Amino acid sequence: MIRYSFITILLLLAAFVVQQFLPAFTGIHHSRILLVQLVFLCSAVTVGQPTMLLLAFIGGFFWDAHCWLGPHGGDPEVYTQQVESLRFGYSIFLFAAMGFLMQGIQPLFKQGKWHFSALLSGIAIFLYLAAEYAIINFVRGDFVLSKTTVTQMLFTSLLTMLFSPLIFWLLFRVARACNHSINPEAAKKKRRRSF
């Protein structure tokens, strides 16, 4: 269990490196694959609550650090009006909220129904983007929601969700290598069928 949790932390940190090389898809409303959030969401459903909160802290801390190293208020291609007073640490709470959402369907995941988790990852990404956009607009003191912004959030969520089976496949391989069962109830059903 400890080895698996440690590897999920390393996977999350590796996702930050890979995220730097993932371009925006200009033909699809400048949508992106949010690999960091996806690795966190897929890992959150496979671990216990304390590990999920640790992953949320690490993910949110480094995501904010990444955004603070760039222009204030995020990527200027996404946010045309820069925000100077967005507080460091807000992403930790957003990551934790996404993690609790994924933990809510953990019983289904433990039964071997990872498809629901893959679908929920897309919904969680959309809610994350909507909450982040709402926070930025609240800090600006002006709320403007255009069709382009909603379309970009939808396509980003959809593109990110399409890669969730790959992340789950990777997590299942890591769990097998660590001799750790991330869906024990499904393993029990397979053993019963073999008898």
Residue 89 is part of a domain; what is its CATH number? 1.10.1760
pLDDT at residue 79 above 80?
no
pLDDT at residue 105 above 80?
yes
Angle in degrees, CA 57, 39, 148, rounded to 5: 95
Total structural domains within the chain = 1
CB 128 within 8 A of CB 99: no
Burial class of residue 171 in the structure, from the number of CB atoms within 10 Å of its CB (0-12 exposed, 13-18 middle, 19+ buried): buried
Residue 92 lies in domain? 2-194
pLDDT (0 to 100) of residue 54: 96
Confidence of residue 18 (pLDDT cuts 50, 70, 90): very high
Instruction: State the average pLDDT over residues 59-85.
Output: 65
Residue linked to tokens 């690795």: 39
> pTM score, two decimals?
0.83
pLDDT tens digits for range 163-175: 999 999 999 999 9
pLDDT (0 to 100) of residue 86: 62
pLDDT (0 to 100) of residue 145: 83
- The size of the chain, in residues, is 195
Beta bridge partners of 31: 25
CB 172 within 8 A of CB 182: yes
Count Cα neighbours of 195 within 13 Å in the Cβ-side half-sphere: 5
More confident residue, 136 or 101: 101
User: How far does Cα 99 stand from its chain's mean position?
Assistant: 8
